[in-house]
């Protein structure tokens, strides 16, 4: 049998199509890897069995492909907790649109991955089910909130995963765990059946080791959904085909974003920029609104929406009582309720919405003269477990370079561009205009072809072989 280890989902699909392996054997391979490594990384809250996947369609773009799913997607007959005790015993009777579309193409689910409870955070510290650890250094955070979806791929316990990104929750852990993560345009992938955090921000998206895997997963999940009125009616491009036509881009670098990162990260970014230049792309310095405005606007809008979205978990019918909410959820609900209360609405929420318009405008203006923006994904590489307690707004501190794209609702992707002095992966964001996911994937694919992501993916796999 050919080697499975390290293969992405497109390559695995080839193996399945060639009958080199059966879906059950493939699934069992990852079950075995989970048995071996879960004790170290703790990626899953709930693992799924072969039986659970027994009725999957045998035909389709993902037929027999194992995928790990963030525990915020409601999965029919498979426990969904959002990493909170409030939903400890919750087994949905319905399927989220994103996972339903994966299932319709024959995907198998390996399990539900750990995360910050309700996606509140960037470390997995707020999960009620314990920490997830970073495969690059088990004393460090994987990032978050899609913590398990990043670590599970990084340690090759699953070949690919899906997560959600509200203010960096896909990009941030992808960068800290040295993998790829794509936050699509808000409304590109349906939010139906995804426990809501910030409704105007939440964007489900793919995570994996190879650009083609992300392209395929996005292709399957994206598109208009009659159950989500905010999904875009725009047709879904063939991302896989689009990325293979090499294109040259005008790439913008914003000082406001670079200055914020550690010297190592800045260095990796500048090295990547030099390579991109050599590859024929044009680099242009641009000026964007200082990310600090995005953080303020994001925080107010996010907390307001959180306070409203968590109100349904009152325990009258299906959930555990409200006293089972964790500290962070309570904090966010209180802050959000305050920002929306009479007399403060204008001062906080309304003002935040105005700032949001300015941020959108700032990006729109910038995209008049360039195609894509390059920026660090996070200001620092993976932090040591325990540092969470030092920052009351840990998530916002870590996501401050992610939140502008979230607030603007535009697509952004994190790709590995090397390691820092501590041998930890550095991620670079590629930010594009609304619905330009094809451009992001195109550039990612070029970097992959040209640099193999500076050997990061390869080394990550080497570490866990």
Partner 1 sequence: MSNKYTPIIGLEIHIELNTKSKMFCQCPADYFGQEPNTHTCPVCLGMPGGLPVPNEEAIRRTILFGKAIGCKINKRFKFDRKHYFYPDLPKGYQISQYDEPIVGNGNLEVYVNGEKKSFAITRVHLEEDTGKLTHKGGESLIDYNRGGVPLMEIVTEPVFHTSEDVKAFLEELQLIARYLGIANADMEKGDMRLEPNISLQLTEKLPELPEYKVEVKNINSFKFAQKAIEYELKRQEEILERGEVPPQETRGWDANTKTTVPQRLKENANDYRYFPDADIPVFEYTDEQLQEIYDEGMVRLPHERIGTYVDEWGVKYVDAVTLVKSKDTAEYFEDLVSANKTAGLDLKPQQIAAALLNKKIKISDDPTKALKEFKESTAPVETDMDKLSSVVDTVLRENQKAVDDFKSGKNPNAIMYLMGQVMRAMKGQADANIVKRLLEERI
Put residue 106 in one of left, alpha, beta given phi > 0 → left and psi -120 to 50 → alpha.
left
d(CA 152, CA 113): 8
Q: Looking at beta carbons only, is 1 or 316 nearer to partner 1?
A: 316
Question: CB of residue 301 vs partner 1: minimum separation in angstroms?
Answer: 9
169 catalytic per annotation: yes
* Among the listed residues 141, 155, 163, 179, the one whose alpha carbon sits nearest the alpha carbon of residue 30: 155
Candidate ranges 220-228, 240-248, 258-266, 271-279; the one touching partner 1 (CB under 8 A): 220-228
Question: CB of residue 160 vs partner 1: minimum separation in angstroms?
Answer: 22
Residue of 38, 52, 63, 200 interacting with partner 1 (CB under 8 A): 200
Three-state secondary-structure class, residue 109: strand
Q: Looking at beta carbons only, is 131 or 340 nearer to partner 1?
A: 340
Q: Measure the CA angle with vertex 161, ends 200 and 433; round to 5°.
A: 40
What six digits make up the tokens of 124?
A: 């997995």
Residue of 28, 230, 296, 459 interacting with partner 1 (CB under 8 A): 230
Candidate ranges 168-176, 274-282, 291-299, 337-345; the one touching partner 1 (CB under 8 A): 337-345
Residue of 262, 308, 320, 387 interacting with partner 1 (CB under 8 A): 308
Residue of 255, 277, 314, 458 interacting with partner 1 (CB under 8 A): 314
Q: Using alpha carbons, list the distances in angstroms from residue 60 to 158, 382, 455.
A: 19, 37, 32
Q: Looking at beta carbons only, is 194 or 221 nearer to partner 1?
A: 194
Q: Is residue 424 a contact residue for partner 1 (CB under 8 A)?
A: no
d(CA 168, CA 119): 10
Q: Looking at beta carbons only, is 153 or 313 nearer to partner 1?
A: 313
**Residue 381, φ and ψ in degrees, nearest 5:** -85, 180
Q: Is residue 443 a contact residue for partner 1 (CB under 8 A)?
A: no
Q: Measure the CA angle with vertex 169, ends 168 and 170; round to 5°.
A: 95
Burial of 264 (0-12, 13-18, 19+ CB in 10 A): middle
Question: CB of residue 67 vs partner 1: minimum separation in angstroms?
Answer: 18
Q: Please state whether beta strands 203-208 and 282-286 pair in parallel, antiparallel, or not at all (unpaired).
A: unpaired
224 catalytic per annotation: no
Q: Is residue 129 a contact residue for partner 1 (CB under 8 A)?
A: no
* Among the listed residues 71, 83, 89, 133, the one whose alpha carbon sits nearest the alpha carbon of residue 384: 133
444 catalytic per annotation: no
Q: Is residue 227 a contact residue for partner 1 (CB under 8 A)?
A: yes
Contact present, 352 and 403 (Cβ < 8 Å): no
Q: Is residue 342 a contact residue for partner 1 (CB under 8 A)?
A: yes
Helix ranges, 250-376 (H): 255-258, 263-278, 291-309, 327-340, 351-366
Residue of 312, 330, 354, 458 interacting with partner 1 (CB under 8 A): 312
Please list every residue from 52 through 81 that binds partner 1, using CB under 8 A.
73-74, 80
Q: Is residue 318 a contact residue for partner 1 (CB under 8 A)?
A: yes
Q: Is residue 234 a contact residue for partner 1 (CB under 8 A)?
A: no
Q: Which of 123, 127, 145, 203 is catalytic?
A: 145
Q: Which of 7, 13, 61, 70 is catalytic?
A: 70
Burial of 239 (0-12, 13-18, 19+ CB in 10 A): buried
**DSSP letter assigned to residue 113:** E
Question: CB of residue 351 vs partner 1: minimum separation in angstroms?
Answer: 13
Q: Is residue 311 a contact residue for partner 1 (CB under 8 A)?
A: yes
Candidate ranges 108-116, 131-139, 187-195, 372-380; the one touching partner 1 (CB under 8 A): 187-195
Residues 6+ apart with CB under 8 A from 18: none
Q: Is residue 233 a contact residue for partner 1 (CB under 8 A)?
A: no
Please list every residue from 248 through 307 that binds partner 1, using CB under 8 A.
304-305, 307
Beta-bridge mates of residue 372: 251
Candidate ranges 8-16, 173-181, 190-198, 434-442; the one touching partner 1 (CB under 8 A): 190-198
Question: CB of residue 192 vs partner 1: minimum separation in angstroms?
Answer: 5
Q: What is the DSSP string of 373-387?
A: EEEESSSSSPPBTTG
Q: Is residue 229 a contact residue for partner 1 (CB under 8 A)?
A: yes
Candidate ranges 50-58, 139-147, 225-233, 273-281; the one touching partner 1 (CB under 8 A): 225-233
Residues 6+ apart with CB under 8 A from 157: 30, 33, 34, 37, 38, 41, 43, 68, 110, 151
Question: CB of residue 76 vs partner 1: minimum separation in angstroms?
Answer: 11
Catalytic sites, residue numbers = 70, 145, 169
Question: Which residues lie near partner 1 (CB under 8 A)?
Answer: 73-74, 80, 82, 87, 90, 92-94, 96, 191-196, 198-200, 226-230, 304-305, 307-308, 310-314, 316-318, 337, 340-342, 345, 349
């Amino acid at each position: 049998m050919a080697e499975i280890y390290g293969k992405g989902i497109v390559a695995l699909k080839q193996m399945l199509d060639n009958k080199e392996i059966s879906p059950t054997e493939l699934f069992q391979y990852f079950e075995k890897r989970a048995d071996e490594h879960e004790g170290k990384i703790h990626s899953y809250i709930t693992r799924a069995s072969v039986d659970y996947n027994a009725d999957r369609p045998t035909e389709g773009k993902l037929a027999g492909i194992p995928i790990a799913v963030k525990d915020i997607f409601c999965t029919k007959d498979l426990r969904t907790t959002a990493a909170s005790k409030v939903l400890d015993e919750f087994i949905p009777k319905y399927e989220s649109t994103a996972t339903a579309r994966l299932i319709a193409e024959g995907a198998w689910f390996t399990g539900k991955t750990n995360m910050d409870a309700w996606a509140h955070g960037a470390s997995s510290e707020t999960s009620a089910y314990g920490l997830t650890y970073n495969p690059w250094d088990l004393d460090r955070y994987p990032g978050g909130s899609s913590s398990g979806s990043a670590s599970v791929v990084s340690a090759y316990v699953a070949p690919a995963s899906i997560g959600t990104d509200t203010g960096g929750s896909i990009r941030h852990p992808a960068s800290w765990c040295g993998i790829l993560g794509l936050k699509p345009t808000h409304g590109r992938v349906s939010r139906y059946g995804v426990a809501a955090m910030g409704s105007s921000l939440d964007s489900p998206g793919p995570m994996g080791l190879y650009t083609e895997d992300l392209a395929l997963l996005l292709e399957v999940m994206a598109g208009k959904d009659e159950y989500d009125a905010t999904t875009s009616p725009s047709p879904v491009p063939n991302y896989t085909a689009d990325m293979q036509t090499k294109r040259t881009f005008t790439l913008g670098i914003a000082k406001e974003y670079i200055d914020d990162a550690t010297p190592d990260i800045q260095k990796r970014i500048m090295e990547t920029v030099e390579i991109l230049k050599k590859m024929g792309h044009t680099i242009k310095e641009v000026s964007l609104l200082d990310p600090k405005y995005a953080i303020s606007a994001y925080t107010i809008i996010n907390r307001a929406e959180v306070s409203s979205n968590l109100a349904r978990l009152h325990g009258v019918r299906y959930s555990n009582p409200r006293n089972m909410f964790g500290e962070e959820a309570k904090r966010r609900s209180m802050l959000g309720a305050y920002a929306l209360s009479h007399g403060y609405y204008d001062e906080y929420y309304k003002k935040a919405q105005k700032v949001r318009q300015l941020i959108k405008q700032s990006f729109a203006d910038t995209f008049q003269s360039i195609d894509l923006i390059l920026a660090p994904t996070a200001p620092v590489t993976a932090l040591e477990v325990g540092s969470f307690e030092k920052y009351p707004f840990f998530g916002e501190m870590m996501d401050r370079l992610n939140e502008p794209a979230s607030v603007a609702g535009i697509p952004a992707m994190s790709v590995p561009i090397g390691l820092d002095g501590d041998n930890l992966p550095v991620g670079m964001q590629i930010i594009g205009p609304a619905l330009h996911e094809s451009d992001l994937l195109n550039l990612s694919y070029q970097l992959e072809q040209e640099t193999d992501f500076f050997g990061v993916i390869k080394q990550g796999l080497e570490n866990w072989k």
